[in-house]
Amino acid sequence: MFFYLHDNILISYAFENELLFKIIFIMKRKQFLALILIIAGVFTLLFYRNSIGINLTIFEWILIPVMLFVNKPNKLNFLSKSILVTLILSSIMVTVINTPWTIFINFILLFSFSTLLAFKGFRSYIHALGESIVRVFTTHFSSQNYSDKNKDDIKLTNLFTKILLFGIVPLATVLIFLLMYFNASSKFASTVEPLFNYIGRMFENLNITIVLIFILGVIVANVLLRKSKPIGLWDMDISSKDDLERKRIRHFLTFKTTGLKTQNIMGIITLIALNVLILIFNITDIQSVWFFEWEGDFLKEFVHQGTWILIFAILCSSLIALFFFKDNLNFYSKNKLIKSLTIAWIAQNIVMAISVIIRNYWYMTYFGLAYKRIAVLFFLILAIIGLITIIIKITNKKTAFYLLKTNSFAAIIVIAISSFVDWNVVIAKYNFNNYEKSFVEYRFMANLEDSALPYTIKTKEELKTIDSLQNKALPTITSYSYFWDSEKYFEMMELKKSDFLERYQTQKPLEWNLSDYITYRKLKNK
């Protein structure tokens, strides 16, 4: 009872008494191990022989309070609060939408949030993400220190390291040599064969699948709940500043090729030329892209090659701007002209990004929506945000850390929002609603997720109507042998429909999700 009523007093006293501290440390370690096993048990109950559905939402709603309890944060900063809210919304959308993209982003958010709790004070999401990726592999073999004051004094190897070094490594070594000897000598093989048969009988009634699921649950719980030693990104994040500070640099040579005056003149000459060049490009691009008229061709060069080249050009432009304003040139008294030229250069790159969006718009108008075309739009939104933050960096003398912090946060929020929409339904609705002017690629439409089935299943009469209009408007495209005809599409969709209905009727309660439910009801009504 004394341990529970006077926990804080006892811990503070324990630091002065080495033996008592070790007792408390062992007690807490056993409690932590019990918690890991309980979480692994819940994980097994929810996911054994169940595909991902409402079970993932239930698991995370149990796990998030446990993560908060274990780490006991006094106060969550802005980044932690934002990721927590986004994670909760994402866990709901897993049940509502249940697309692979939604599930993947949910996992990223979950592991990121565990890192933000384990290492309090992260301000940049990109640093937290990097730490999260490393923790997936290193957490199991790092020592668990419950006290920051004694983290350099107490070096206790955790259970996972003991299992690896004292169990898995010796066992694997013995098995390798056993197999070599077994295949090298028939006499040895006949001698040890009864042992193999005995081991086989021991495990024949053991459910290997449930054991593997439980082990996976232990690994997941260990990563999400265990503290580990940071790899250096946390220290870098904490020590970084948003605002630039002027550095006093002593030069030992009379001729300074990298002096501020030299950098300023070089930058002015370069940026004048680049501004003129991009101005000419933007004028021609506006004429050819913004007022585009389609002549029935594939638009491959117009979109595929042009888009990625321009995106690469925008990224290079950002690096050039950052190169000129990386250090003391920000504080140079005669930098007004180069600053204005750089802002003009970035602004023209924003115009270029808008042109790329318009290119993508024309492509989607005549060839329909697709995953990559939607992804390009989101990428360009992030590119424009990045260009705007570069202008802010230049005008307000911000650091590269500010750019990393702001843009990585914008990236995870935009990407998370993209996972809150079932793009399969959006693509199916748009493409079939615009078949009079837009090409419908049957092969692609047949490969959409099951949630699109109510909108991609068409009768033979509907497909004949679509074919007649497509052949008339797009004769050169529909003649390609790569694309499916309506008959093959109809057969594949009927097969896909029957497979879905059969799967849904055998779906278990923990696999339930709203998307499948709505799809099933619409198909039955249809």
Angle subtended at Cα 424 by Cα 104 and Cα 95, rounded to the nearest 5 degrees: 50
The number of angstroms, rounded, from the C-alpha of 469 to the middle of its chain's C-alpha atoms is 41
Q: pLDDT above 90 covers what percent of the chain? A: 40
pTM for the structure as a whole: 0.82
CA distance 526 to 520: 10
Alpha helices in 48-77 (DSSP H): 54-71
- For 173, list phi and psi in degrees, rounded to 5: -65, -45
**Is residue 94 within 8 Å of residue 107, measured between CB atoms?**
no
CA distance 288 to 311: 18
**Is residue 286 within 8 Å of residue 358, measured between CB atoms?**
no
For the chain, helix, strand, coil in percent to 5 are: 75, 0, 25
**Is residue 433 within 8 Å of residue 83, measured between CB atoms?**
no
Name the pLDDT band for 296 (thresholds 50, 70, 90). low
Using the CB atoms, write b or e for 388-410: b if 16+ within 10 Å: bbbbebbeebbbebbbbbbbbbb
Sorted by where each begins, the domain ranges of the chain are: 1-241, 260-398, 423-525
**Is residue 399 within 8 Å of residue 243, measured between CB atoms?**
yes
**Is residue 341 within 8 Å of residue 394, measured between CB atoms?**
no
pLDDT at residue 257 greater than cutoff 50: no
Angle subtended at Cα 28 by Cα 27 and Cα 34, rounded to the nearest 5 degrees: 95
Name the amino acid, one letter, at 362. W
pLDDT digits (tens, 9 = 90+) for 417-453: 999 999 999 999 999 999 888 888 999 999 999 999 9
Q: What is the pLDDT at residue 261?
A: 74
Name the pLDDT band for 255 (thresholds 50, 70, 90). very low
Nearest alpha-carbon partner for 68 in 129, 121, 113? 113
Q: What is the pLDDT at residue 68?
A: 93
CA distance 361 to 289: 10
CA distance 513 to 106: 15
Alpha helices in 185-324 (DSSP H): 186-203, 208-225, 233-239, 260-285, 306-324
Q: What is the pLDDT at residue 203?
A: 66
pLDDT at residue 393 greater than cutoff 50: yes
Contacts of 271 (CB under 8 A, 6+ apart): 324, 338, 341, 342, 344, 345
**What does pLDDT average to over the chain?**
82
Range with the largest mean pLDDT of 14-18, 228-232, 497-501:
497-501
What would the two tokens of residue 182 be? 């077994």
pLDDT digits (tens, 9 = 90+) for 180-195: 877 777 777 777 777 7
CA distance 352 to 360: 13
Nearest alpha-carbon partner for 374 in 365, 384, 366, 364? 364
The number of angstroms, rounded, from the C-alpha of 304 to the middle of its chain's C-alpha atoms is 24
Place of tokens 């990097």: 130
Residue 286 buriedness (CB in 10 A; 0-12 / 13-18 / 19+): middle
**Is residue 324 within 8 Å of residue 330, measured between CB atoms?**
no
pLDDT at residue 254 greater than cutoff 70: no
* Of 276-280, 361-365, 477-481, 485-489, minimum mean pLDDT range: 477-481
**Is residue 251 within 8 Å of residue 317, measured between CB atoms?**
no
Nearest alpha-carbon partner for 83 in 126, 45, 36, 52? 126
* Dihedral in degrees, nearest 10, Cα atoms 419, 131, 60, 209: 100
pLDDT at residue 330 greater than cutoff 50: yes
513: left (phi over 0), alpha (psi -120 to 50) or beta: beta
